[in-house]
Amino acid sequence: MIAVVGGTVFTPAREIPDGAVLVEGHRVVAVGPRRMVAIPTGAEVIDVQGGYIAPGFMDIHCHGAAGMDFNGADNTIADLRRAAAFKAAHGTTSFLATVATASPAATRRALDLVHRAVGADGGAELLGAQAEGPYFNPDAAGAQAAEHLRRPSLAELDCWLDVCPELRLVSLAPELEGALEYIAGARARGLTLSVGHSHATYDQVMAAVAAGLTHATHLFNAMGGFHHRWLDTAGAVLSRDEITAETILDYIHLHPAAVRIIARVKGPGRMALITDAMPAAGLPEGEHDWDGRRITVRQGLVQLPDGTVAGSVLTMDRGLRNLVSAGIPLGDALTMAAATPARSIGLAHRKGSVACGLDADLVVLNQDLQVQLTMVRGTVVSRTEGNPDAL
C-alpha cells in the first residue's frame, strides 16, 4: 500500500486540506482528511509537504513527444514508451496517441502500433488512439496532409477497428458528403465523434449533434469562426452544451481572453485541456522533421515552411499553469485537464478523478504548480525535486 499525504487533495466533491490518498494495487481505496484515513502499518508514506494531490492529467490529443511521431513509419513500442515517459514527467498519466491524416496504409500501420503498445509498462498509460482526419474540409486542412483527405467511410473505420479496437475518438468535418451517416455509425460502434478542420455551418453542426457528435477539436483553430448573424462552426460549438471543446492552452492558439470566454460558456465540465503536441515537444528549438515535412520551432511556435501553424510543443502542466494565470480556479483547471477528457471518451468510471475505486492516477504539484511526482495506476513513474522542464 501507498499513502500520499500532507497536501490539499482535489476530489470531485471538494478540496481537502491536509488530506490523504490511500492506494492499494492499481486503485484508490481511501480519500479524506489525513487524521481520518487509517494508514496500515508498513505502508509506504509519501509526504507532499504542503503541495497539491490531484488527478493525473489525461491528454486526449497529442501527436508525439521527445522526437517520437505517432504517424512515423519506423516506430517501435520502445519509441512510444519514450514519449510516454516524457509525458509522465509533466504530469500526464494517460493519453490518446493521435494519428493525423495519412494514406490508408499508413493510417492502419500507425493504429496497429498503438494497439500493440497498449498495456506496455513505463510512463503515462496509452489508452488508445484518436484519428484526427482524414475526413476534413480541404479549405480547413491546416497542417494536415491535404493530399490524403477523403470522404468519410464506415468501411475504412471498420478496418481501423480491426487493427486497433482501442480507437476512441474520430475528428471529421460534418459538412462532407456522408458525414452524418458516418457519425451515426461510428457512435453506434462506441466512438466519440468530434467536429474539426471544418467550415460547417450552424445548421450542419446541429445535424451532426443530432447524429451523435459530442466533441470539438481544438476550438477556434482550423474551423469556421463566430459572427453574430451566422455562428458558423465555432459559434455552433459554443451554443451546444452537449459538445465538449478541446482547447490548446499555449497562448499561441488562443488569446487568454478567448480562454476565459470559453470557460464561462462551457464551464469546466465541457472544456478539455489538450496539448496537440508534435514530436518536437521536449526537443531543443530549431528545425525538426514531422512525418517527412520540415517544421520550425521558435519561442513555442511550431510552423511549416509556408507559415502554417502545426500543432504545439505544449505540455499538460504548462497548459494547467496557463489556465490558472488566465484566472481559472485551480480546481476547475484540474477538472479540464483530467475529469473532462476522461468523460468525453467514456472513461470517467475508471479515470480522471481522485475517488475510491478509480485508477490511482495522481500528480503531485508544488505551490508553483510544478510537477513533483506522477503516479500511474498505483506506480510512481516520475519523481522530481524541481521543475520537470529541466529534465
What is the four-CA torsion angle of 149, 150, 153, 155, rounded to 10 degrees? Answer: -80
Question: Which three three-digit cell numbers place residue 288?
Answer: 525538426
HSE (side-chain half, CA atoms, 13 Å) at 92: 33
Reported residue count of the chain is 391
Question: Which three three-digit cell numbers place residue 99?
Answer: 494519428
- Give burial (CB, 10 Å; 0-12/13-18/19+) of 295: buried
Instruction: Note whether 296 and 308 are within 8 A (CB).
Output: no
Which of helix, strand or coil describes residue 79? Answer: helix
276 is catalytic: yes
Q: Write out the E strands in 48-177.
A: 52-55, 57-62, 64-65, 68-69, 92-100, 125-132, 167-172
Question: Which three three-digit cell numbers place residue 185?
Answer: 455509425
Residues 304 and 244: their CA atoms lie apart, in Å, by 28
Place of cell 493521435: 98
The enclosing H or E element of 20 equals strand 15-24
Question: Which three three-digit cell numbers place residue 78?
Answer: 520502445
Q: What are phi and psi of 223, to 5 degrees?
A: -155, 160
Q: Which of 79, 276, 291, 361 is flagged as catalytic?
A: 276
Active site residues: 276
